Copies of this chain bind each other. A is one copy, B any other.
């Protein structure tokens, strides 16, 4: 009975940054997001408040990766194992300024044939995170969810370039649109983020969240504006998965509160920023594996002091 459904990639990542590298490490948007959400949601044995993942892995996906998610109370019955091929692989590197990943190689593997199919136990989910996949598939997922209270949508520049109209169709159907700043500028064809958000709001979503990496995040709603600070990290080891960790914590927190009020969304953005800031401190999910609820609360309180005047 997953109450929060997260749809997206599970991947094996090879990442190189100025501070180290990993090969075929656990990655993927749905992986980062569901792990991050699990700090707020309930174990799979509960009847409500559970996070369920939808995705596909190949015959080479190590069993312990799925077990890692299961140990966090995440329902993985929506992850299909496609034995006809390999897991989605991404190879990327970051330059010295760590701002943006350069994709070295992408091997879609079984992800190329991914047709998201929600288990029946997921279909009454009230909270849905459509992580970055083909907008056509995102639409297919939405048709399978009976009556969601809040749908959060992420995307990437590739779909803006290649499937813009379909992406706009999805945007019209969701409650919260999540973009990074360059995507917002590209999609709405303006350098001004305020203008971009105003245009986005007219399409339908009630909230627009713009992620700005080291500069924090912005929330736009009808007539209101919120600016979330970023956490002052002196040592960023690997920013891979930060956006997905941000989104996972955000919707995980909202699902746990069963609320989509602006008040709670502001807090959710801070929780997203907290978990994302931890995630950047190590490769893959290594840092997230070693934090507990109290670490998150402590850093949340630091965020309170950071914005105080």
Contacts and interface: CB of A to CB of B under 8 A. Distances in A.
B234 A270 contact: no
A225 B232 contact: yes
Contact of A198 (B198, B234, B269, B304): B234
Contact of A195 (B212, B229, B234, B307): B234
A192 B218 CA distance: 21
Range class of the A interface residue count: 35 or more
Interface string A78-101: 000000000000000000111100
Contacts of A232: 193-194, 218, 220, 225, 227
A93 to B, nearest CB: 15
B195 A270 contact: no
Q: In the complex this chain forms, how many copies of it are found?
A: 2
Nearest to A307: B307
A309 B267 contact: yes
Interface in A212-258: 212, 214-216, 218, 220, 224-230, 232-234, 236
Nearest to A97: B191
A203 interface: no
B229 A227 contact: yes
Nearest to A224: B305
